[in-house]
Amino acid sequence: MTLFAPYRKDPEPVTEHSSPRFESPDSVRKGLASVAYLANEGIAGVVFLAERLGKPVLVEGPAGTGKTQLAKSVAEMTGSRLIRLQCYEGLDESKALYEWNYKKQLLRIQAERVTEAAGETWSDIEEDIFSEPFLMTRPLLEAIRAEEPVVLLIDEVDRVEVETEALLLEILSDYQVSIPELGTVAATQIPLVFLTSNNTRELSEALKRRCLFLHIDYPDLDREKEIVLTRVPGITDSLADQVVRIVRSIRGLDLKKAPSVSETLDWARTLVLLGIQSVDAATATETLNILLKYQTDIDKAAKDLAAPSSQR
C-alpha cells in the first residue's frame, strides 16, 4: 500500500531540478518589483543563487524589514504555493513534521475493547492505526510531499530549541523524511526554502553552513521611498520623500527600537489619512507614537525633533 505519491523504496537525494526559474539576479529584482516587493542587489542576488544552487536561505535582520514578506513575495512571483512553518519555543517534530493522532488512536483501541469486535487481531489494529487517516501532516512533510512548486517559509527559526534545529538541518540536507511505520518520503523537487531569524539566538554552525546567508537591513533612502510609494496608495512623491528622510533621521538616534519599514508604512498611511501634505516638526512629534513603540524612545525623538540644528 503506497500512501505517499512520491514514494521511493530506495531514495536518492534530488540534485536535478527543472529549468531554472530565474534568468539573472536582475530578473529576480524586476519580478519581485512586479509583486510590490522592492529588493536591492543583495536580496535579488541571493534569491537567484538559492534557486540555482538548491540551497535554503537564512534571512536575518531587524524586525519589520521584509524578511517574511520576501518569502511570500517570491512565492507570489513564481506562482508557487507558500507553506509556512511558524516557529515558537517548544516547537517539536510532532508539530513541524508529522504526528500520529494518538488521541484518535487511543480512542480507536478503546472502542475496540468496549465492543469486543470479534475477529480483529492486534496486528490488524496496529496496521490500521498507523495509516493515513491517523497521520497528521505538518508543514515540513507537506513541503516535501508537494508535487507542485512550493516555497517553504520557516519563520523565526531562532525561537526553536537546538534539538528542533537539528531536525530542520536534517531535512534541509536531504529533503527526505523517514517515517518508521511507513517508509521514506523523498522530495521530487527541491522547494525554495527561506528561514527567517530575528537573531535572538545564535543558530548552530551546521545550519548556517548549510544555508546561504542574507542580512536585510533597513533599506536605504531611495529604496524605502520606493517601498512607500508602492505600498501607500495616494501618497505624493514629496510626502514620501519627507517621510523617509525623517525616518532615517530618527533611526540615527540611539533608540531601544528603531522604526521598521512596516512602521514607516503605517506612519505614511496615517499622514495620508490625515490629509497632510507636508510634515512639520509639530505633526511629526504628535504622530511619533506610530513610528516608535517605547515611551523613552518617543521622548527622545520628540526632544530631538524640537532641537532643529542638532548636530550629531
Partner 1 sequence: MDGTELSLPPGSSAGILESVSGFVKELRNAGIPVSLTENLDAVEALRHVPIEDRDAFKYALAATMVKNNAHWKTFETVFEVYFSLQGRRYQISGDGGSDETEDLLNELVGSPDSDGHGSGEGLTQEQLAEMLLRALMDGNDSMLRAIARTAVTRYAGMEPGRPVGGTYYLYRTLRQLDLESVMAKMLDRAKDANTDQSDLEERLTREEFEHRLDALRREIEAEIRRRLVADRGAEAVAKSVRKPLPEDVDFMHASREELAALRKAITPLTRKLAVRLARKRRHGRKGPLDFRSTVRHSLSYGGVPADPRFRYPRPSKPEIMVVADISGSVAAFARFTLQMVYAISSQFSRVRSFVFIDGIDEVTDYFKGTEDISAAIQRINTEADVIWVDGHSDYGHAFEVFWDKWGRDVNPKTTVLLLGDARNNYHAAQTWVLAEVAKKARHMYWLNPEPRSYWDTGDSIVGQYAAHCDGAFECRNLKQLERFVEHLG
Ligand X SMILES: Nc1ncnc2c1ncn2[C@@H]1O[C@H](COP(=O)(O)OP(=O)(O)OP(=O)(O)O)[C@@H](O)[C@H]1O
Instruction: Kindly list the residues in this chain that would bind ligand X in the complex (CB under 6 A).
Output: 36-38, 63-69, 196, 198, 227, 231, 261-262, 265
Helix%, strand%, coil% for the chain, nearest 5: 50, 15, 40
Q: Answer yes or no whether residue 88 interacts with partner 1 by CB under 8 A.
A: no
Lookup: cell for 177: 523524511
Cβ 142 to partner 1 shortest distance, Å: 25
Q: Answer yes or no whether residue 308 interacts with partner 1 by CB under 8 A.
A: yes
Distances (CA, A) of 287 to 144, 233, 295: 46, 19, 13
The residue of the chain with the least Cβ separation from ligand X equals 66
Using the minimum distance from each CB to partner 1, give the nearer residue, 78 or 185. Answer: 78
Residue 113 binds which entry of partner 1, ligand X, Mg ion, none, CB below 5-8 Å type-dependent: none
Question: What is the helix (H) or strand (E) element at residue 288, kind and residue range?
Answer: helix 288-291
Edge-to-edge order in the sheet of strand 212-215: 81-86, 150-155, 192-197, 57-60, 212-215
Of 4-12, 65-73, 174-182, 247-255, the segment contacting Mg ion by CB under 5 A is 65-73
Residue 55 binds which entry of partner 1, Mg ion, ligand X, none, CB below 5-8 Å type-dependent: partner 1
Q: Is 222 helix (H, G, I), strand (E, B) or coil?
A: helix
The 130-149 site mask, x for binding partner 1 (CB under 8 A), equals --------------------
Q: Answer yes or no whether residue 68 interacts with Mg ion by CB under 5 A.
A: yes
Q: Answer yes or no whether residue 274 interacts with partner 1 by CB under 8 A.
A: no
The 162-181 site mask, x for binding partner 1 (CB under 8 A), equals --------------------
Of 260, 259, 264, 258, nearest to 229 (Cα)? 264
Q: Is the dihedral of CA 123, 125, 126, 131 positive or negative?
A: positive
With 0-12 / 13-18 / 19 or more C-beta atoms within 10 angstroms meaning exposed / middle / buried, residue 112 is: middle
Could you please report the per-residue DSSP string of 65-124?
SSHHHHHHHHHHHHTPEEEEEE--TT--HHHHTEEE-HHHHHHHHHHHHHHT-TT--HHH
Residue 10 binds which entry of Mg ion, partner 1, ligand X, none, CB below 5-8 Å type-dependent: none
Cβ atoms 70, 194 nearer than 8 A: yes
Residue of 141, 152, 240, 246 that binds partner 1 (CB under 8 A): 246
Q: Answer yes or no whether residue 242 interacts with partner 1 by CB under 8 A.
A: yes
Neighbours of 253 (CB within 10 A): 16
For residue 214, give the amino acid letter.
L
Residue 94 binds which entry of ligand X, partner 1, Mg ion, none, CB below 5-8 Å type-dependent: none
Q: Which residues make up the interface to partner 1 (CB under 8 A)?
A: 24-26, 41-42, 45-46, 48-49, 52-53, 55, 57-58, 60-61, 89-90, 102-103, 106-107, 110, 161, 199-202, 208-209, 211-215, 217, 221, 242, 245-246, 248-249, 252, 254, 256, 279-281, 284, 294, 296, 300, 305, 308-310
Q: Which residues make up the interface to Mg ion (CB under 5 A)?
A: 68
